[in-house]
Structure 1
Amino acid sequence: MHHQQASIFDAGEIGLGDLAGVRRTPLSRGAWIDTLPGWLSGADDLFQDLADHVPWRAERRRMYDNVVDVPRLLAHYDAEDPLPAPVLDEARARLSAHYAGELGEPFVTAGLCYYRDGRDSVAWHGDRIGRGDSQDTMVAILSLGEPRPLLLRPRFGGGATLRQPLGHGDLIVMGGSCQRTWDHAIPKTRAAVGGRISIQFRPRGVR
């Protein structure tokens, strides 16, 4: 019986679970996170498909007096762009429906980040370009591939840093004032970790 279950799992059926299972953790200053481990089944197959077929781009940014490589690969899909896998359209639609009462608008864009190994990272930040700087909003992140810890800490100090490992189809939604009053990061690691792709669904005007 156990072998049969393993072989079904190995078939890599890609699908979404029930969002009724999300668990909310209130943070300070009106911020909160919702988490649902393993929301997407077959996540490792989807990871490989996206890694191979998304038109990833490397970016360079000015840091003080230098221009440096952004330590991850990026792709962005606007509201009118077809997403690179049908299950991502379904995920966005189901998130929009689930959070419609609180958010009051749909998730429309999708930003993808590819962390190729432990050297790829993202520094402390909030999604405060656009409306996220002044209004409560939500950012929903679906993680594929090997888990990496998402760290969260109060933007203005005075609280502990939270550590949320994300990978293999896990979902986290950052809501309320989270983008304004908390920062988040994916730190570098010297551990031998495989690749991770995060898909960030956002409403209009939030980056």
Structure 2
Amino acid sequence: MRSTVHLQPSLFDDADTGGPRLGPLGGLRRMVLGDGAWLDVLPGWLHGADELFEHLAATVPWRAEQREMYERTVDVPRLLASYPADAEPPHPLLGEARAALSRHYARELGEPFRTLGLCYYRDGRDSVAWHGDRIGRGAREDTMVAILSVGEPRTLALRPRSGGGPVVRRPLGHGDLVVMGGSCQRTWEHAVPKTARPVGPRISIQFRPRGVA
């Protein structure tokens, strides 16, 4: 039985001034990772992120999954939800976010963001292991994955797939946006590590173009 650490509202979150809303994307800052990969970061893109977290946590039809590992079945350490391109997003603001990202990156990406994927990290025991795109289009061509985080900050870690390079760590939560682009899905790996610290829950919202895993 999990003991729950509840979401601690951000001191900078202003959900009571009209509900969740998006800021401009002009403040995105790009970090060149190497091997054709880059990372765009915009802290606090979403204002009122805690309100959106509460809505998603309560209304999304979260599913628990299992997978085979080392000849045994184990629980995937997070809850999941997915929305294909033709599905209504679980909150209108996520449709607005997808449209805003598609407009901003239209020239560079050459296509819109289409699908939504959500991961619910309930506490520090939930995580995602090191991975990249080995089956989608990102395994063979440059693309983008945008991630909007609501809830308590958790660390997104990135490292070169070839090994030997530094590990990049970014804490993401309370409305932060990060976009992994260029060759990032095939030349770098990323993870959300477990932590023994008492951290509250976080929801990661991923926006992807067609065919990107």
1:1-207 correspondence to structure 2 within 5 Å: 9=14, 11=16, 13-207=19-213
CA RMSD between the two structures: 1.4
Contact 2:13 2:174 in 1 (8 A): no
Greater fraction of residues in helix: 1
Gaps of 5+ in 2: 1-10
- Aligned to 1:137, what secondary structure does the other structure show? coil
Q: How far does residue 37 in structure 1 lie from its aligned partner after superposition?
A: 0.1
Q: How many residue pairs end up in the alignment?
A: 202
Contact 1:134 1:180 in 2 (8 A): yes
Q: What TM-score do you get using the length of structure 1 for normalisation?
A: 0.95
Gaps of 5+ in 1: 1-5
Contact 2:114 2:208 in 1 (8 A): yes
Pair 65,32 (structure 1): closer, same or farther in 2 beyond 3 Å = same
Distance in 1 of aligned mates of 2:120 and 2:148: 12
Distance in 2 of aligned mates of 1:23 and 1:137: 18
- Aligned to 2:102, what secondary structure does the other structure show? helix
- Give the letter for the 1:33 counterpart: L
Distance in 2 of aligned mates of 1:21 and 1:121: 29
Contact 2:13 2:48 in 1 (8 A): no
Q: What TM-score do you get using the length of structure 2 for normalisation?
A: 0.92
Q: Percent identity?
A: 69
